[in-house]
Amino acid sequence: MTASTPAAPPTTTPAPAVPRFEPALMRRKLTGTIFYGACLASIGVLLLALVFLLIDVFSRGLPWLDLDFVSGVPSRRPERAGILPALVGSFQVAMFVALFSFPIGVAAAIYLTEYARDNRFNRLLQTNISNLAGVPSIIYGILGLALFVRLLGLGPTSLAAGLTMTLLILPIVIVASIEALKAVPDAQREGAYALGATRWQMVRRSIFPAAAPGIMTGLILAMARAIGEAAPLLLIGASVFVTFLPNPIEGSYTVLPIQVYQWSSRPQADFQGISAAAIIVILALMLALNGLALIVRARLARHIHW
């Protein structure tokens, strides 16, 4: 290091001032190996946690899981209890969430990326939408209680729950959709414009199809979150004991996470068991939803030929 500094003044002609390299190849390779090991260990921790969780849940819940459990209604006696009302309730909420959050979320994202001018207000808007994704879900419960249950008079129904969950996941849907739309190169926009496309035609025929798989992925992940949430629904009146199939717009309802919560808080070991069984059902539901996402994504991607 000291040798290289005085060599600076270019007094002599081309040849001299050969920089000296210290390759230290072994040390550089070792650093790489250590980092690789750290990454592998991180994945290991994650996998281990998952495996333990699955083993625990399955070992407790599997003995209780049978067709009667899935098709039965809750009961005071664990051996006769079932989860059909909660399952149907979860489905209803999920349907409402999909129905509302997809059009609103995607339209908002299209507005922000394709229509809104790039000014301070719109940047502020985007930042705040991202922030909304980090608001604790219980807050959305309070909002849903005030807005949908009371003000709009929907009462404690799965419709109100679906609307509340829509608010909860809209930021996620919007942010994911914005990312998917922004990932489409501007050259695609120019290509469409150069052929005489209007802005709407450009969005509809060029940008949206290209972004659709990414948008779908975001939507499905958001849906999974909505199905797994319990906290906001506790506030907006999801009942804990429903022995009939819920009517989406009238009367009480419950959802799977609430059912799990209710059973797991009981002292009897058998209730812990059926609680674990219900968790297995939720996991299966999530898996099915993700599978659906893969299929939809693949179908949409069939029309896209990157």
Partner 1 sequence: MSTQLEEVPTGQVAPDGPSPTIRIAPFPAAPDPGAAATAGAAAAAPDYVVELQDVSCYYGAFRAVRNVDIQVARNAITALIGPSGCGKSTLLRTINRMNDLVPSYRSEGRILLDGQDLFDRSVDPVAVRRRVGMVFQKPNPFPKTVFDNVAFGPRINGYKGDIHELVERSLRRAALWDDVKDKLRQSGMSLSGGQQQRLCIARTIAVDPEVILMDEPCSALDPRSTLQIEELMAELRREYTIVIVTHNMQQAARASDTTVFMTMGEDRAGFVVETGPTAQIFTNPRNQLTEDYVSGRFG
Binding residues for partner 1, rule: CB under 8 A, are 117-118, 185, 187-198, 201, 205-206, 209-210, 303-306
What b-and-e string marks burial along 147-161, b requiring 16 or more CB atoms within 10 Å of the CB?
A: bbbeeeebbbbbbbb
Q: Find the shortest distance in angstroms from Cβ 252 to partner 1.
A: 48
Q: Find the shortest distance in angstroms from Cβ 304 to partner 1.
A: 5
Whether 248 and 92 have beta carbons less than 8 Å apart is answered as yes
Q: Find the shortest distance in angstroms from Cβ 271 to partner 1.
A: 53
Q: How far, in Å, CA of 113 to CA of 179, rounded?
A: 9
Q: Which is nearer to partner 1, 91 or 193 (CB)?
A: 193
Q: Which is nearer to partner 1, 48 or 304 (CB)?
A: 304
Q: Find the shortest distance in angstroms from Cβ 120 to partner 1.
A: 13
Q: Find the shortest distance in angstroms from Cβ 68 to partner 1.
A: 50
Contacts for 99 with CB less than 8 Å, ≥ 6 apart: 162
Tokens of 31: 């650093």
Q: Which is nearer to partner 1, 190 or 250 (CB)?
A: 190
One-letter identity of residue 14: P
Q: Which is nearer to partner 1, 110 or 223 (CB)?
A: 110
Q: Which is nearer to partner 1, 114 or 270 (CB)?
A: 114
Q: How far, in Å, CA of 101 to CA of 171, rounded?
A: 10
Report the chain's terminal Cα–Cα distance, integer Å: 50
